[in-house]
Amino acid sequence: MADFFVGRQPIVNSRGKTVAYELLFRQDPAVVAPADGSPGALDGDVATARVIAGIHGGSGLSALSGGRRLFINATRHTLTSGLFTTLPREGVVVEVLEDVEVDETLIRELHALKRAGYRIALDDWTEQSRQQALLPLADIIKVEIPAFSPRQLAETAEALHRRRLMLLAEKVETREQHAICESLGFKLFQGHLYARARLIRDRQLNPARRTALRMLSDLQQPDINLTEVSALITQDPGFAIRVLRLCNSALVSGARSFSDIPTAVSFLGTRRLQQLASLVAFSGLGASTADGELLRLALTRARACELLAPQHMADSSAAFLVGLVSMAERMLGIEAAVLAVEMALAEASRRALAGDADSPLGACLARVLAFEAPGEQTGDVLAQTRRFSMAYIEAMRWANEVIEESLGVSLSD
């Protein structure tokens, strides 16, 4: 898995609370910068495209945004190519850069985005801006404060307020500037006074792994529809091949042969599909023994949580997934709590993965973790540990069988 780097700078309200972020493409710090000292040779089109691709390929919009809107720079090409429509309208603000050429084609594309419910911001606004024709389409105007004298700033703010536009003060560096902007009716603020852009490193998940994680989430739903699961698998050829290979392996199908996904899915059933998705999502990280042992531990932990679930009045399927996802940081480089949000897991699962040991699912996970890393235990705790050891041994046996059953099936990237 490759890494994706992005700069994320907070946008705050008048009380200093972060209400949004601006995302800025950043090169891998390990890449040597050009001799002229510039940040890199990428132009705006490529930078924006990589930001959007990184959102789709990494841990997702919600993980980067924390539930807040993301301002993403928009060039002419990225606007006219439809890239922004691949992002949810409630999660982004389309920030039209100041040097974008304005013509009928661009205006038509922005009209379409506006009708679809996207919010539009105009960057680096000045009275001489070529973006004048875009004012009727704008929701937010970003004003670069150092570029204006106090008088010019007041006049500009008054003119924009007449159009009922929200004003964002950009490049605010002093408290005096903040106070002036607030007195002029600015509602949003961005600049070094509040925070510098922070470099965020995200992991890029390959398509088969993302499909597997999505399927794991779907399979825990009580009203799971195998037709929908088949459609999801079919969208990813790599994952579809893995399903057919598993289904046609001697240990699974015997003498039968399967050539289409719906029949294979129906034959495998939800339990075997869950096993396969677990393997694809968390395997293929390398050929080392350590990687294989991590996969074995992940499956063992998941099964152990599942076996404990009835004792804690927890859902068994959800407990399995909580145990599996708890290994996300060690195996995928993604925090378990972040992955839980991206997978749209139920609130009870999210709480467990965030460390809530008082909830039924959290109690299952905490008990398994305590068994895996025992300290000094006495009395009732020791007795419970001894009783649980048989369940954990059963979980280990199950994990070994699942891995053995899948030998010969290509699970790696």
| Per-residue pLDDT, 38 | 47
Give 62-78 as a DSSP string. HHHHTTSEEEEEE-HHH
Of 41-55, 98-112, 288-302, give the lowest mean pLDDT range.
41-55
Is 67 a residue whose pLDDT tops 50? yes
- Count helices and strands (H / E) in the chain: 18, 9
Calculate the alpha carbon distances from 66 to 36, 61, 91, 193 in Å.
36, 8, 10, 21
Of 80-89, 115-124, 176-185, 383-392, give the lowest mean pLDDT range.
383-392
Give 41-67 as a DSSP string. S--HHHHHHHHHHHHHHSS-HHHHHTT
User: What number of other Cβ atoms are within 10 A of residue 174's Cβ?
Assistant: 12
- CB-based burial of residue 127 (10 Å sphere; 0-12 exposed, 13-18 middle, 19+ buried)? exposed
Distance CA 204, CA 2 (A): 5
Identify which of 22-26, 57-61, 221-225 has the greatest average pLDDT.
Answer: 22-26
In the chain the domains, ranked by start, together with CATH numbers, are: 3-203 (3.20.20.450), 207-405 (1.10.3210.10)
Cα 33 from chain centre: 28
Pick 260 or 106 by higher pLDDT.
Answer: 106
Q: What is the pTM of this model?
A: 0.54
Pick 8 or 201 by higher pLDDT.
Answer: 8
Cα 39 from chain centre: 26
Classify strands 198-203 and 188-189 as parallel, antiparallel or unpaired. unpaired
Residue 79's nearest CA partner among 56, 52, 39 is 52
Find the angle CA(232)-CA(234)-CA(238) to the nearest 5 degrees: 105
Is 192 a residue whose pLDDT tops 80? yes
Is 412 a residue whose pLDDT tops 50? no
Is 407 a residue whose pLDDT tops 60? no
Average pLDDT over residues 198-226: 72
CA 138, 139, 144, 145: dihedral to nearest 10 degrees?
Answer: 130
Pick 334 or 131 by higher pLDDT.
Answer: 131
Give 89-111 as a DSSP string. TTTEEEEE-TTPPPSHHHHHHHH
User: What number of other Cβ atoms are within 10 A of residue 325's Cβ?
Assistant: 31
Identify which of 63-67, 125-129, 214-218, 309-313 has the greatest average pLDDT.
Answer: 309-313
| Per-residue pLDDT, 1 | 46
Residue 353 makes CB contacts below 8 A (sequence gap 6+) with 322, 325, 326, 336, 337, 340, 345, 365
Please provide residue 90's backbone torsions phi and psi, each rounded to the nearest 5 degrees: -80, -5
Query: End-to-end CA distance of the chain, in Å?
Result: 9
| Per-residue pLDDT, 247 | 72
Distance CA 181, CA 171 (A): 12
Pick 224 or 309 by higher pLDDT.
Answer: 309
Give 275-300 as a DSSP string. HHHHHHHH--S-SSHHHHHHHHHHHH
Confidence of residue 231 (pLDDT cuts 50, 70, 90): confident
Is 99 a residue whose pLDDT tops 60? yes
| Per-residue pLDDT, 287 | 40
Percent residues over pLDDT 70 in the chain:
78
Is 226 a residue whose pLDDT tops 60? yes
Is 413 a residue whose pLDDT tops 50? no
Confidence of residue 201 (pLDDT cuts 50, 70, 90): low
Distance CA 318, CA 334 (A): 19
| Per-residue pLDDT, 164 | 93
Average pLDDT in the chain: 80
- CB-based burial of residue 157 (10 Å sphere; 0-12 exposed, 13-18 middle, 19+ buried)? buried
Which of helix, strand or coil describes residue 119?
Answer: strand
| Per-residue pLDDT, 291 | 57
Task: Encode pLDDT of 102-117 as tens digits.
Answer: 999 999 999 999 999 9
Is 284 a residue whose pLDDT tops 60? no
Distance CA 273, CA 261 (A): 12
Average pLDDT over residues 150-176: 94
Which of helix, strand or coil describes residue 140?
Answer: strand
